[in-house]
Structure 1
């Protein structure tokens, strides 16, 4: 079977095409706050692929999600929309109100959680999110601005500081303002992850665009990088629909 998998995040639309579970096409594009328009531009391509069904994860608001589903109806195939549940496939959600947990985080937890292991799942995307599991119990987590959001916030709120877009790859004390900002932000996020792991010792899982960057500075925790973790979770979700 040939399937389309959609991940519509805050800034990007990602999709995978699988044929008999093998990824044959993958792309990620900025949607510039208009994911439905971007999807509409892709729909003819999707039509040409003779797809059997669609699985979708979207963090958009109800209005955007309704338009996205209308566009996907043009494919005339079943569309499965992932939602957060208090319990799903044995996994217990750790949020008091399940509707407040992002579907992207829920699917990443669903992808990893099992009865015998515990995980710290860190997604290094637009936000840096941390979710903890103990067996099939989701314990909740943390959300922080990522490297670039913190840097941009500092620029906007500090007069006279102009900080170029340079790499976050050092932790030494900055000997100029640019390095002090970048190294300080990176050190702060790494220290947060380390503190969480001290409080909840478990296997560290990293996903998202900056996963390798963080992994290089967290080697003592033997991190595992899972670049397509949301896709894995979305597949698990669809497989368990009753």
Structure 2
């Protein structure tokens, strides 16, 4: 039997079955919907997995509801990923690792395994997170609103009206309200990413690889002017690695 790996984010639920590698990844928005009914519909016909492991940053009641569903359906306890569990050769910058988001830790574990010399991990989701790793040492990072959150803030708190599409393909001057908005938002994120990479390079502690993941990564990639590696499901890969390690 395969393991069920879960990434319960602030608004989205992603999952995949995995043995030695991730299978196809599925995703659905849970926010604003009943989680039990959602799981009944999407997981109700799933064969009982060998184990269930998860990264969860959703509110505690949602995390508990996920655990209750898995327990009631399959009589399994979810193995929740936490930075408190540690990882060989990877040191968390937080004085209290329990306060670091599980998704950030899972992404860092997967990135560290792929790029042990050092990397800047950028996860573009409901929030955008950046974490700097140098030879297994987590130096710290940044958190800022995600692309969609910034867009909603502008449209919800101002009189700006967008009636046309705002897709962007490259840097340039916006010539519609929509393109001005999208370039401004994506450009702000891209600028922080590149400035952070430059800072990490300037500190001389490693030759870092820029690693980008997350469901909204496509919004900023056209504006990234440096080399990068895209890993679409870095958090789930980290969950897989952490889950396997607990069995050793």
> TM-score band (shorter)?
0.7 to 0.9
Question: What is the aligned counterpart of 2:54 among 29, 53, 56?
Answer: 56
TM-aligned CA deviation for residue 119 of structure 1: 0.5
Cα distance in 2 for partners of 1:168, 1:35 equals: 34
TM-aligned CA deviation for residue 12 of structure 1: 1.1
SS in 2 for 1:200: helix
1:216 is aligned to 2:228: no
TM-aligned CA deviation for residue 64 of structure 1: 2.2
Mean Cα deviation higher: 226-235 or 24-33: 24-33
What are structure 2's unaligned runs of at least 5 residues? 202-207
Q: How does 1:153-164 map to 2 (within 5 A)?
A: 153-159=153-159, 161-164=160-163
TM-aligned CA deviation for residue 56 of structure 1: 1.3
Contact 2:150–2:185 (Cα < 8 Å) also in 1:
yes
TM-aligned CA deviation for residue 102 of structure 1: 1.1
Mean Cα deviation higher: 171-180 or 203-212: 171-180
1:126 is aligned to 2:131: no
Contact 1:86–1:93 (Cα < 8 Å) also in 2:
no
Contact 1:215–1:223 (Cα < 8 Å) also in 2:
no
**Cα distance, 1:232–1:29 mapped onto 2, change above 3 Å:** same
Contact 1:31–1:38 (Cα < 8 Å) also in 2:
yes
Relative contact order: is structure 1 or structure 2 higher (C-alpha 8 Å, sep ≥ 6)?
2
Provide the residue aligned with 2:140 in structure 1.
140
Per the normalisation by structure 1, the TM-score is 0.88
Provide the residue aligned with 1:100 in structure 2.
99
Contact 2:187–2:223 (Cα < 8 Å) also in 1:
no
TM-aligned CA deviation for residue 120 of structure 1: 0.3
1:112 is aligned to 2:100: no
Provide the residue aligned with 1:207 in structure 2.
213
Question: What is the aligned counterpart of 2:242 among 223, 237, 241?
Answer: 237
Contact 1:108–1:233 (Cα < 8 Å) also in 2:
yes
Cα distance in 1 for partners of 2:14, 2:97 equals: 24
Q: How does 1:67-86 map to 2 (within 5 A)?
A: 67-73=65-71, 74-85=73-84
What are structure 1's unaligned runs of at least 5 residues? none
TM-aligned CA deviation for residue 32 of structure 1: 2.6
Cα distance in 2 for partners of 1:72, 1:100 equals: 25
SS in 1 for 2:95: coil
SS in 2 for 1:139: strand
RMSD (Å), alpha carbons: 2.2
Provide the residue aligned with 2:89 in structure 1.
90
Which of the pair is proportionally richer in strand? 1
Per the normalisation by structure 2, the TM-score is 0.86
Cα distance in 2 for partners of 1:88, 1:23 equals: 20
Cα distance in 2 for partners of 1:86, 1:5 equals: 17
**Cα distance, 1:81–1:230 mapped onto 2, change above 3 Å:** same
